[in-house]
Amino acid sequence: MNVLTSCISTTLVLVLLGTVVFFVTLAHNFSNSLKENFNVSLLLDDDVTQKQAYDLQTRLKQMPCTRLVNYVSKERALKEQAKALGTDPTEFMKENPMPAAFEVYLKAEYATNDSLKHIIPQLKADKAVMEVAYPENLIESLNTNIRRISLVMLIVALLLTIVSFALINNTIRLGVHAQRFRIYTMTLVGANWGFIRRPFIAKAFWIGFVSAVLATGVLAGGIYAMTMYEPQMNELLNWQVLGGTFGVVFLCGILLTLLCAYFSVNKNLKMSYNKLHRY
């Protein structure tokens, strides 16, 4: 009965811990996804030749900060502008006023104003480029908010880890404490501490392992239900998110129970006969 109670208590704590880890890693993927949707627009001069445009595209693709390069022709730019304005600019002008452009999508780690301060001058230096435009204020605002949210979530995760250790420690400690007379008797007959600890450590390992398996099952079911309800979440889910979540659950489940059992047994091994009846 004590083992069953320990497994249930530990499983609930691990589910809570796994939930926080899952949303922390998912939020990281979401922030990267937002950053990678930002693009730097390189407006090309009307006199640019096809070879110059091709050479520029090649150089852009070779830059370490580049994730994707998309070419926008003058015709496509005109259609997009007409759709946005609700009217065709060529109705008032004899020729297409929209320039051709390259849209450069950056890797997430480069989508910061500090990185762009070094990248933009390189892009402007190209003779084929007439102008470089990017959402500077939006990028700065996004990065600031992401840093704040990440800090809050990290603090929550740290606090929850401490709380998890305390709850699992209390669960294991109560189980070990119930065997204090048995432990004391074994010390009287000359059993060494390692021999006395061994069965408690083994029991704690299986409690942690079984609890981690159960918690993983609950979390997997919850994640599956979320993806069924909101299929777009599949775009943010990857092996890093799932592996990190389930890995932390197993690591904490086994490691915390082993540590708690070790220290709890040691505490009872040091307990004198007079203290046995005080609890």
Average pLDDT score, the chain: 79
Angle at 111 between CA 105 and CA 112, to 5 degrees: 155
In which domain, by residue range, is 172 found? 2-33+142-276
71-93 burial: b if 16+ Cβ within 10 Å, else e: ebebeebbeeeeeeeeeeeeeee
Give the distance between the most distant pair of CA atoms in the chain.
Answer: 104
In the chain, pLDDT over 70 holds for what percent of residues?
87
Q: Using one digit for the tens of pLDDT, what is the confidence trace for 53-77?
A: 888 888 888 888 888 888 887 777 6
Q: In the structure, what pLDDT confidence band is assigned to residue 166 with cuts at 50, 70 and 90?
A: confident
Residue 276 predicted with pLDDT over 60: no
Q: Which CA distances in Å does 74 have to 46, 79, 94, 101, 126?
A: 9, 9, 14, 8, 19
Angle at 88 between CA 84 and CA 91, to 5 degrees: 155
Q: Using one digit for the tens of pLDDT, what is the confidence trace for 2-56?
A: 677 778 888 888 888 888 888 888 888 888 887 888 888 888 887 777 888 888 8
Number of domains in the chain: 2
Q: In the structure, what pLDDT confidence band is assigned to residue 94 with cuts at 50, 70 and 90?
A: low
Asked whether residue 171 falls in the same domain as residue 100, the answer is no
Asked whether residue 80 falls in the same domain as residue 218, the answer is no
Asked whether residue 23 falls in the same domain as residue 65, the answer is no
Asked whether residue 177 falls in the same domain as residue 149, the answer is yes
Asked whether residue 220 falls in the same domain as residue 84, the answer is no
Asked whether residue 231 falls in the same domain as residue 153, the answer is yes
Which pLDDT score, from 0 to 100, does residue 157 have? 76
CA distance 123 to 110: 15
Alpha helices for the chain (secondary structure H): 2-36, 50-62, 74-85, 113-124, 136-177, 180-188, 193-229, 239-269, 273-276
Which of residues 108, 134, 160 is at a domain's end?
134
Asked whether residue 7 falls in the same domain as residue 45, the answer is no
Residue 271 predicted with pLDDT over 80: no
pTM for this predicted structure? 0.70
47-63 burial: b if 16+ Cβ within 10 Å, else e: ebeeeebeebbeebeee
Asked whether residue 94 falls in the same domain as residue 216, the answer is no
Q: Which residue has the tokens 């999508």?
A: 105
Asked whether residue 117 falls in the same domain as residue 146, the answer is no
Q: Which residue has the tokens 């109670």?
A: 5
Asked whether residue 73 falls in the same domain as residue 11, the answer is no
Highest mean pLDDT among 109-113, 192-196, 275-279: 109-113
Q: What is the mean pLDDT of residues 117-133?
A: 83
CA distance 241 to 26: 6
Other beta carbons within 10 angstroms of residue 237's beta carbon come to 16
Which of residues 134, 152, 170 is at a domain's end?
134
